[in-house]
Amino acid sequence: MPNPQPSLVHGRYFHIYNRGINGCNLFAEPKNYEYFLTLYDKYISEIAQTFAWVLMPNHFHLLVKIKDESGIRFNPKKRIIKEEKSIWVEKQSLVSTSDFDQNEDFIFEKYKPENQFSNLFNAYAQAFNRKYHRTGSLFEHPFHRKEVDNIGYFKQVILYIHQNPVHHGFCSHPVEYPWSSYITCISDKITKLQRDAVLGWFNTVEEFKSVHTENTDESEIEKWLGI
């Protein structure tokens, strides 16, 4: 039986990570990374703020804060009859009750964090399988998550995420790796990443850059994460 994972509680921070099933690659070429990020924006921006991320060939790491429930939109669904069964169909393009015919049968539910992550992984896996003519699961299940409730771990998790490509031998410095949030953190481009908050934890951009040049012990954070 898989180990139970904690619920994604509104208003709390989580380190979310997962890998390809049996260690298989999740990303085979640059377009795969780009497509995953497109889906990530579609599904996860609805329910979480992102503070750091890295996509590696066979795994990924994220640091997110699940939004307060009041900050999450409703997900309207319409009941239709299909094959003599009553089912609910999402109608995501509509966001308020005024958009609906009062004679139609709708329910309104908040987007659920766990469901949105599952939708992300399922959508990506289906596209990946079609492209590379494979079948079956792509990601380990359930996806792993660890609540970050200790201020001492915030900086450690961010450093761990950005230095993951260095740790695995893909580069000698995080700035050399294109599929992480490090470059976004040191740039001034418009972004949905919570860059100001991240840099605030490191006081300045200069300190942020400085600590990313230091050698860090991965074992402590991996032990805490249970990796």
Per DSSP, the three-state class of 60 is: strand
Per DSSP, the three-state class of 61 is: strand
> What tens digit of pLDDT does each residue of 31-76 get?
999 999 999 999 999 999 999 999 999 999 999 999 998 888 877 6
| Cα 142 from Cα 3, distance rounded (Å) | 8
Global pTM? 0.84
pLDDT at 190: 94
Report DSSP letters for 122-186, one per residue.
HHHHHHHHHHHT--S--B-SSPEEEE---HHHHHHHHHHHHHHHHHTTS-SSGGG-SSBSHHHHT
| Four-way CATH pick for 13-69+113-225: 3.40.50.1860, 3.30.360.10, 3.40.50.300, 3.30.70.1290 | 3.30.70.1290
Region 200-219: mean pLDDT is: 88
Q: How far is CA 144 from the centre of its chain?
A: 11
Please give the torsion angle defined by the CA atoms of residues 24, 36, 34 and 37, in that order, rounded to the nearest 10 degrees: -140
pLDDT at 104: 54
> What tens digit of pLDDT does each residue of 3-38 get?
678 899 999 999 999 999 999 999 999 999 999 999
The pair of three-digit structure tokens given for residue 106, joined into one six-digit string: 């709708």
- Domain boundaries in the chain? 13-69+113-225, 73-110
